[in-house]
Amino acid sequence: MQVLKERILREGRNLGRGILKVDSFINHQVDPQLMVDVGRELARRFASFNVTKVLTAEISGIAPALTTALALGVPIVYARKTRPITMTNGTYRQTAPSHTKGKTVELMVSVEFLGPGDRVLIVDDFLATGRTIEALVRIVEMSGATLVGIGTVIEKAFEGGRERLSHLGVPIESLVVITDMSDGRIIFAE
Amino acid sequence: MQVLKERILREGRNLGRGILKVDSFINHQVDPQLMVDVGRELARRFASFNVTKVLTAEISGIAPALTTALALGVPIVYARKTRPITMTNGTYRQTAPSHTKGKTVELMVSVEFLGPGDRVLIVDDFLATGRTIEALVRIVEMSGATLVGIGTVIEKAFEGGRERLSHLGVPIESLVVITDMSDGRIIFAE
């Protein structure tokens, strides 16, 4: 996705240790039209998979997941990291270590919103180590739903997420793939 | 907004103590098309205010704020409640008591994304006590930006938020207003 590459090169900042700052257009300030374009492209790639729900994790997955779900015409469910008082029924719960938060986070999805009839596309802003997405996959499995694919906006290929998730046997689509962030660079896959 | 009223009556649940559960379409599972309609309507009501940024607080404000910003053609900024490692520059910080979390939360906005040139529309899912929105207003004031209005999806009129915010002298628009949730009821304003 060329427009995304250009935006990363223009506004993204390599903070070292594999950390990419894209908070001017993805995860603090957000460009809504770019998110709509991102959602349309992810939806296009999974158009033939009969997706019934898009699943993501709060917080920064919400924007691209919402626009993907909009383009697919299905609901989005975002896993909560803290239990709101309105979450009164049973939940599927899994934990994942968070790279950017420096601690373990819990992910919770109400049993009401995911079940055996669902065909789930997981969407997140980043594919890095894949551990957050792995926790979402376990939630899909707990619910009896079928995982049909994984879509992310930016993949950091050098953090091994794709390898970690490859045993799932579902397509993994990332709109841009970064292969190298050493020495302050941001190198994209061809 | 009739479609929203009907949805609340059909799927919303009054949990008592003024707590409205709408997590099947607003704040856990989200109906993306409804959010687009919500965003269009809020944008319509503030179309003449020359808004340059939509500001909200994570988490459940993100969806309606994103779609409002999309309709207005401006960026959205969501205040963070925990500092991500990519938030490296200065921040505007305020605290607010959270009704639904039962504790005080901190709201942080990077100084890069709000400044004296901005005309800010604050959008959130609920207008209840108004304390979260009040913290966002203080962030707008810290930045030197101009607050032009406040838009929310659901107002619980009996919690006094509108009175708390009225001294600001800006329009406050809510798409539905609930006047009474006592005895298990959900009563809308005419």
Retrieve residue B37's tokens: 């309609």
Classify B121 as helix, strand or coil: strand
Contacts of A115 in chain B (CB under 8 A): none
Per-residue pLDDT, averaged over A131-147, amounts to 98
Classify B117 as helix, strand or coil: coil
C-alpha distances out from residue A143 to A46, B5, B57, B166, Å: 21, 30, 30, 46
Between chains, do B76 and A15 touch, taking CB under 8 Å as contact?
Answer: no
**DSSP-derived secondary structure for A57-108:** ETTTTHHHHHHHHHHHT--EEEEBSS--TT--S-EEEEEEEETTTTEEEEEE
Between chains, do A29 and B86 touch, taking CB under 8 Å as contact?
Answer: no
Tell me whether strands B76-79 and B53-57 are parallel, antiparallel or unpaired: parallel
Q: What percent of chain A lies above the pLDDT cut of 70?
A: 98
C-alpha distances out from residue B76 to A92, B35, B47, B48, B119, Å: 31, 15, 16, 18, 12
Cα distance from B140 to chain A (closest Cα, Å)? 14
Contact B189/B177 with Cβ under 8 angstroms? yes
Which pLDDT score, from 0 to 100, does residue B103 have?
Answer: 83
Contacts of A59 in chain B (CB under 8 A): 58-59, 62, 78, 80
Contacts of B86 in chain A (CB under 8 A): 15, 19-23, 27-28, 100
Residue B48 has pLDDT above 90, yes or no: yes
* pTM greater than 0.90: yes
Contact A120/A114 with Cβ under 8 angstroms? yes
CA A38 to chain centre: 12
Contact A175/A153 with Cβ under 8 angstroms? yes
pLDDT, tens digit, 9 for 90 and up, residues A66-92: 999 999 999 999 999 988 888 888 999
Does A1 reach chain B within 8 Å, measured CB to CB? no
Classify A158 as helix, strand or coil: helix
Between chains, do B62 and A67 touch, taking CB under 8 Å as contact?
Answer: no
Does B27 reach chain A within 8 Å, measured CB to CB? yes
Does B80 reach chain A within 8 Å, measured CB to CB? yes
Contacts of A63 in chain B (CB under 8 A): 62, 66
C-alpha distances out from residue A185 to A82, A180, B2, B159, Å: 36, 7, 52, 52
Which residues, 6 or more positions from A13, have their beta carbon under 8 angstroms from its beta carbon? Answer: A20, A21
Residue B55 has pLDDT above 70, yes or no: yes
Cα distance from B133 to chain A (closest Cα, Å)? 17
Which pLDDT score, from 0 to 100, does residue B11 have?
Answer: 97
pLDDT, tens digit, 9 for 90 and up, residues B93-146: 999 987 666 689 999 999 999 999 999 999 999 999 999 999 999 999 999 999
Which pLDDT score, from 0 to 100, does residue B149 have?
Answer: 98
Q: Which residue in the set A28, A36, A113 is minimally distant from B28, CB to CB? A: A113
Between chains, do A82 and B100 touch, taking CB under 8 Å as contact?
Answer: no
Residue A142 has pLDDT above 80, yes or no: yes
Residue A101 has pLDDT above 90, yes or no: no
Which pLDDT score, from 0 to 100, does residue B101 have?
Answer: 63
Phi and psi of B46, rounded to 5°?
Answer: -115, 20
Between chains, do A86 and B21 touch, taking CB under 8 Å as contact?
Answer: yes
Which pLDDT score, from 0 to 100, does residue B98 have?
Answer: 77
Q: What percent of chain A lies above the pLDDT cut of 90?
A: 92
Does B132 reach chain A within 8 Å, measured CB to CB? no
Contact A41/A35 with Cβ under 8 angstroms? no
Contact B120/B51 with Cβ under 8 angstroms? yes
What gap in Å lies between CA B101 and CA B119, rounded to an integer? 30
ipTM of the complex: 0.96
Residue with tokens 């304390």: B131
Cα distance from B180 to chain A (closest Cα, Å)? 18
Between chains, do B30 and A76 touch, taking CB under 8 Å as contact?
Answer: yes
Which residues, 6 or more positions from A90, have their beta carbon under 8 angstroms from its beta carbon? Answer: A110, A111
Contacts of B36 in chain A (CB under 8 A): 70
Between chains, do B59 and A70 touch, taking CB under 8 Å as contact?
Answer: no
pLDDT, tens digit, 9 for 90 and up, residues A29-71: 999 999 999 999 999 999 999 999 999 999 999 999 999 999 9
Does B104 reach chain A within 8 Å, measured CB to CB? no
Question: How many CA atoms lie within 13 Å of A5's alpha carbon, on the beta-carbon side?
Answer: 12
Does A9 reach chain B within 8 Å, measured CB to CB? no
What gap in Å lies between CA A93 and CA A80, rounded to an integer? 10
Per-residue pLDDT, averaged over B73-90, amounts to 93
Nearest chain B residue to A19, by CA: B86
